[in-house]
Structures are given as structure tokens and as C-alpha cells.
Amino acid sequence: MGIDVDCFVHPPPAALICPICTDIASSPLAVCDEAHILCASCYDNLLKSHRENGHKSKKYPRCPTCRGSTTEADDVKCGVHDYGCSWTGNYDDLFKHVKKCPLNAFPCHHSKLGCDASLRSHELAVHTVSCPVLQNTPAKLLSDLAAIVKRINCDSLAKHERKQHKTYEGYLQALRDACKRREEEQKEPYRA
């Protein structure tokens, strides 16, 4: 329903009047190639009554002003039509279709836990049960953690051993040097 024409001081242009409610079009929609306008709510009601009255041969009613074909502005196609989905329909039905479209890819239900799989709707149920993220049971996680701790301990132990090895190599070299000096001293004649 639009704005009452009687509210205007001067008669409004006829092009602004909705032919259904005969008020100034509220949220006007151009409904045909001639750009005749209707209130958005009047157009919705027109579509609803057209469908309820069983007009299956024509998906859309004719323009009430010129009787021309109405623009199929709310007719949409599936977002994956380039990949083979042939569905077309009303914009209002698009969300329902997308949830069921066999060609549409959806993220795994465990994406927040780290699974980055993207699957078609018919593959999603099977994947959800066998998702690799689910393989991370508490026992598996505990085993993995124990292996990591062991590796860290081995790494830190190896680092400590390398440090000790360098120290011992230093002592060994010092002993070798001392022995070499001693041998050289013994080879020299005694000086008094």
C-alpha cells in the first residue's frame, strides 16, 4: 500500500500511482519493459495471488497497466550454474536450494577445529563421520604429546651432551698440549 493521493496539494503525476492500490507507489518497483511501477507490497501480493490461482503456464503475471510481460527481476539461478546446476527460481527460494544443491560445496562441520575440507552436500555426511580432525581422540592426542615431549627431551639432552662434549674436547686438547710440551721439555738438554 502506498501513500494516499489525497495527501498531496497538487495531483501527483500518473506515473507515480500504483495501478493496484491507486496510491503513490511505496518502495516502487518497475515491473515491465515500459517501466510501469507498482508498490513492492502490491507486486508481492500480485505474485502471490497469481501463483495461488494456479497460473502454472506463466510464472509471472502481466503488468496491470500495459498488460505486457512483467520483468522477472526476482528470478535467479544457482551460484554454481557454471558447474552444471540448472536450477532457476524465485530469489526467496534460493537459500533453500543452496542448502540442498548437490553441486554446491560446503565447509566441513569441524572447520573450527582445523578441518579445511570443502565438500558437495552428498559427500558432507560421509566426511563428517570420518573427518581427520575426529581422529584426534584424547588417547591419540596424549600419545602424540608424549612423543613430542620425548623428542624435546632428546633434543635438549643432545644439546646438553654436545655442550659437554665440547668441554671434554677442550680438556682433552689441553692435556694433549701439556703432554706435547712435556715431551719437548724432556728432549731438550737440562740447562742450569
- Res 18: pLDDT: 92
The tens digit of pLDDT for each residue in 118-173 reads 888 778 888 887 888 877 666 666 667 677 777 777 777 777 777 877 877 777 77
Q: What is the pLDDT of residues 103-119, one digit of tens each?
A: 888 888 888 878 888 88
Query: Which 3-state string (H, E, C) describes the chain?
Result: CCECHHHCCCCCCHHHECCCCCCECCCEEECECCCCEEEHHHHHHHHHHHHHCCCCCCCCCECCCCCCEECCCCEEECCCHHHCCCCEEEHHHHHHHHHHCCCCEEECCCHHHCCCCEEEHHHHHHHHHHCHHHHCCHHHHHHHHHHHHHHHHHHHHHHHHHHHHHHHHHHHHHHHHHHHHHHHHHHCCCCC
